[in-house]
């Protein structure tokens, strides 16, 4: 068995207004950054999985992302590059 490290990025679907992103966007000009638009705030879930190989690990992370880490009604997810750590 091998340990793989994953990052799953969860973000609100583009069709939904992101109130957190809007609030951040609204405060940036006050600090002098007037050229920023389209700010959206999501979250990163870091985890490690002990699995026989990368394919199995990724398939499991995929399933976890759909069933728990994101809510497919409102969110999209992306699984970032895997790192083999042990």
Partner 1 sequence: MSRSGARVGVVTFPGSNDDRDALRAVECMGGTGVSLWHGDMELGDVDAVILPGGFSYGDYLRTGAIARFAPMLGAVRGFAERGGPVLGICNGFQILCEAGLLPGALIRNRSLRFVCRLVDVRVETTSTPITSESRRGDVLEIPVKHGEGQFVCSDEELRRLQAEELVVFRYVTPEGEIDDDANPNGSRDAIAGVRNDRGNVVGMMPHPEHAVDPDVGPTGGRPLFESLLSRVLERVS
Residues that bind partner 1 in the complex, under the rule CB under 8 A: 12, 15-17, 19-20, 22-23, 68-69, 71, 73-74
Q: Cβ of residue 41: shortest distance to partner 1, in angstroms?
A: 10
Determine contact, residues 44/5, Cβ cutoff 8 Å. no
Query: Least distance in Å: CB of 26 to partner 1?
Result: 10
Question: 1, 76, 4, 5: which is closest to 43 by C-alpha?
Answer: 76
Report the alpha-carbon distance of residue 44 to residue 80 in Å, rounded: 10
Closer residue to partner 1 in complex, CB, 30/73: 73
C-beta of 2 vs 60, nearer to partner 1: 60
- 15 vs 35 by CB, closer to partner 1: 15
Min dist. Cβ of residue 46 to partner 1 (A)? 14
User: Of 52, 50, 43, which is closest to residue 80 (Cα–Cα)?
Assistant: 43
3-class secondary-structure state, position 26: helix
């Amino acid at each position: 068995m091998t340990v793989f490290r994953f990052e799953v990025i969860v973000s609100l679907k583009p069709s939904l207004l992101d109130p957190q992103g809007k609030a951040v966007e609204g405060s940036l000009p006050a600090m002098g950054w007037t050229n920023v638009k389209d700010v959206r705030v999501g979250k990163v879930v870091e985890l490690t999985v002990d699995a026989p190989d990368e394919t199995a690990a990724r398939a499991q992370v995929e399933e976890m992302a759909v069933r728990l880490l994101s809510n497919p009604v409102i969110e999209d997810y992306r699984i970032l590059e895997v790192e083999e750590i042990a």
